[in-house]
Amino acid sequence: MPLSKMVKDPKSSGVSLRRHAWRLPLRYKLALPTLVLMLGVVIFVLFTTFSVFHEMTVKYKEARLQAVAEIFAETLKIPMAVEDQSSLRAYIQLLAEQTGADEVCLRRADGEKISAGRSGTTHFSDISYAQDFFGVKKVGEGVYASVVPILSEKEILGQLIIVFSRGDFERELRELFIEKFFISFLLVTLVAFAIAGFTWLAMKPLTALQKTARNILAGDLEARADIHSADEIQELGEAFNKVVSRLVQSFEHLRARTQALEESEEKYRSIVNNVSDIIFSITPEGELLILNRGFSGYSREEILAEGLPLFFSMHAPGEAQKFQDALETIMRTKKPVEHLSTQQFHRLHHAEIYYQTNLTPVVDYEGSLRLIQGVMRDVTDLRHVEMMKETLVRDVAHELKTPTAKFIMTLPWLEKQMENNSEKEKFMPIIKMLSENADRLMRTISSIMDLSKVESGMSDIRKQEIDLNEVLRLVVDDMRPLIEQHHLKLETRLSSGPLKMLGDPDMLYRVFVNLITNAAKFTPDGSITVTSSLRGNDLCAEVTDTGIGIEPENLQKIFEAFFQKTPSTLGIGVGLTISKEIVALHEGEIWAESGGAGQGSIFRVIFPSYPMSGK
């Protein structure tokens, strides 16, 4: 999907704009913990205060009642001594009303009991104490009694008992606690709301910033945050607006580039789909990724679905192995393979189709192979023309070879016949000239036939694991007598270790014979040096001479068929052409280097190495 469409449609941008179903605002996250903490503190303080105040008040009341009881006990001595019943009852009733006791009881020594209490209170008639008890004692649940003996000259006249409970007092304290707690809760709640309000005011600029961000994500690229808080948040908003402006500017550039890329891609797709060549891509794992059209009677979809197995099965017997070897060579050397000729059969027409393929590796910045890009061209018509030409050349060469051979065979007989002829001296130079030109014609015919075979692929090449140094040693040993006849030195500087490769030893022998012969042909004096070395993953062999050299403009032409530096040069100029074709069959390269005329030349050959057996 184009980038512009992705921005207009928020659902396709990969950013979720949906709000959460439920969330707690930040101001409440600050206010609620404050409310809970303050309420806890208030409850703890009130509860502690209530407990301490309760205990202090109870002790104070007990001490007060005890003091009052002791005072009234002194007052009751005289009425008890004279047995003034009315006065005793009046004093007891007065004591009950003034002290706020639940009940006041006077018990004589003989056990007679006089009691009085407040209206609406419960009387405790079943309370009994030992005659010698003095003090405050718990007599029931929440009920206490203060007992004071009434003494007259060390004689116990009776006991004054004041009974009181904590119920009313505790009820008052609870009511007071609840009242204070309610007031504290209101104050704490007001503080929490105040915190929430202040937090909301502080967070309002961030809320505006959040709203602006949502609008931008929704597609409103003109939205900006308008914040005037005169603090760090305002600086953040200004920085946010600058970042958004730059992003929008970058997006506009990206959108323009994307549109241009889409147009270019459309043009490229149209060109690729309509081109007559077959374009494909293969991964190092053997997966067929890209294919612009079908071929050999198969549709594009069929080939992509079946992959390389179907691709290989289209080839004629033996041709698929050539293609697979080329792929393995690229994976091993990461170098292109050009002009790979293969033959296939059309599924529907059952006709032979010839393709010429160029395979190019696609390597990343780390040097790893990412893809193998291939371009196949249908050269069937051209192949048929070349086959007709090659057939014609072979037939003509063959037809010329037979009479030429007969002519060469006749010349020795003619020379022998002329030995007794009186005009021998006159005709012998002519016979010698005929013999030399016949030999030259035979070599020309043989060279033409050899070149035709190599170019047409008819030469039988049989690759095997060989040591390039062994081939070079054999060539040097065989060529040394010929080189010495030219009064030249033939030197070797071969690598100390073996140079393993896959190749046809006979074909490679012919390459280096041609190179050394060519060097001897253009070296009047001096030496020829054959060297070999291992350069990275490649094997390098060089033939260096001290001859007449090669002009820069001729460094490429010398490998063209029938090219001769001078018309008087021996041969017809196909030796280097044949050598180049043989090197190409071995997936290698050959080129010449020279500093110019009179500075000698170097012919350098590069082959891919082959792992040694057992390693």
Give the residue, 583 or 127, on which the prediction is more confident.
Answer: 583
Q: Whole-angstrom Cα distance, residue 494 to residue 479?
A: 16
Q: Supply the pLDDT for residue 532.
A: 93
What's the pLDDT band for 398 if we cut at 50, 70, 90?
A: low
Structure tokens at 368: 């790893």
Token pair of 214 as six digits: 């949502």
Average pLDDT over residues 576-599: 85
Segment 451-471 mean pLDDT:
72
pLDDT of residue 18: 45
> What is the percent of the chain with per-residue pLDDT over 90, rounded to a whole number?
9
Is it the case that residue 242 has pLDDT exceeding 50?
A: yes
Q: Which two tokens stand for residue 494?
A: 């071969």
Asked if residue 92 lies in contact with residue 114, where contact means CB atoms within 8 angstroms, the answer is yes
What does the pLDDT look like over 185-195, one tens digit per residue? 788 788 777 77
**Distance between CA atoms of 375 and 337, rounded to whole angstroms?**
11
Residue pair 252/7 in contact (Cβ under 8 Å)? The answer is no
The class of domain 275-378 in CATH terms is alpha beta
Q: Say what the pLDDT of residue 206 is.
A: 78
Flag whether pLDDT at 12 surpasses 50: no
Contact 472, 512 (CB under 8 A): yes
User: Between 20 and 470, whose confidence is greater?
Assistant: 470
- pLDDT of 125 > 90? The answer is no
Q: Flag the least confident range among 200-209, 474-483, 597-606.
A: 200-209
Strand partners, 138: 144
Q: What residue segments make up the domains of the chain, in order of their start? A: 76-165, 275-378, 384-454, 463-608
> How far, in Å, CA of 201 to CA of 236, rounded?
17
Q: Nearest CA to 160 among 168, 151, 169?
A: 151
pLDDT value, residue 1: 37
For residues 430-436, average pLDDT = 76
Q: Measured between alpha carbons, how far is 576 from 591 in angstroms, rounded to an integer?
A: 10
Helix (H, G, I), strand (E, B) or coil at 545: strand
Average pLDDT over residues 225-252: 82
Retrieve residue 332's tokens: 């091993």
C-alpha–C-alpha distance, residues 54 and 240, integer Å: 62
- For range 329-342, the mean pLDDT: 85
For 187, 219, 221, 246, the CA distances from 257, given in Å and listed in that order, are 63, 20, 19, 16
- Judge whether residue 459 has pLDDT over 70: no
Out of 9-18, 35-44, 139-148, 543-552, the most confident range is 543-552
Token pair 């007990």 is found at 62
C-alpha span between 318 and 86 (Å, rounded): 146
Q: Distance between CA atoms of 416 and 413, rounded to whole angstroms?
A: 5
Q: Which residues pair with 359 in a beta bridge?
A: 337, 374
Alpha-carbon distance of 237 to 228, in angstroms, equals 9
Radius of gyration of the chain (CA): 61
Q: Return the pLDDT at 541.
A: 93
pLDDT score recorded for residue 460: 56
Q: Could you tell me which of 344, 285, 347 has the C-alpha nearest to residue 317?
A: 344
State pLDDT tens for residues 497-524.
899 998 888 889 888 988 998 888 888 8
Q: Find, among 190, 192, 186, 209, the residue nearest to 28 by Cα.
A: 192
Average pLDDT of the segment spanning 332-349: 85
Predicted confidence at residue 470, as pLDDT, reads 93
Helix ranges restricted to H, 9-25 = none
Q: Return the pLDDT at 5.
A: 39
Joined tokens for residue 224: 């900006």
Place of tokens 């405790």: 124
Q: Which pLDDT value is given to residue 565?
A: 58
Q: What is the pLDDT of residue 62?
A: 72
Q: What is the pLDDT of residue 484?
A: 87
Short-list 533, 564, 545, CA closest to 489: 545
d(CA 374, CA 210): 53
Name which of 377, 378, 327, 326 is nearest 352 in CA terms.
378
In angstroms, the CA 27 to CA 182 distance is 24
Mean pLDDT of the residues in the chain: 77
Give the long-range contacts of residues 42-47, CB within 8 A, separation 24 or more.
42/181, 42/184, 42/185, 42/188, 43/181, 46/177, 46/180, 46/181, 46/184, 47/177
Tell whether the model's pLDDT for residue 141 goes beyond 70: no
Say what the pLDDT of residue 9 is.
43
Share of the chain above pLDDT 70, in %: 78
| Tokens describing residue 450 | 């050899």
So what's the pLDDT on residue 539?
92
Among the ranges given (158-162, 266-270, 559-563, 606-610), the one the predictor scored with the smallest mean pLDDT: 559-563
Q: How far apart are CA 525 and CA 548, in angstroms?
A: 10
Beta-bridge mates of residue 181: none
CATH code: domain 463-608 is: 3.30.565.10
pLDDT tens for 250-296 read 888 888 888 888 887 777 777 666 777 888 899 988 888 888 888 88
Q: 155-165 and 113-117 as β-strands: parallel, antiparallel, unpaired?
A: unpaired
Give all strands (DSSP E) within 48-154, no chain letters. Answer: 103-108, 113-117, 135-140, 143-152
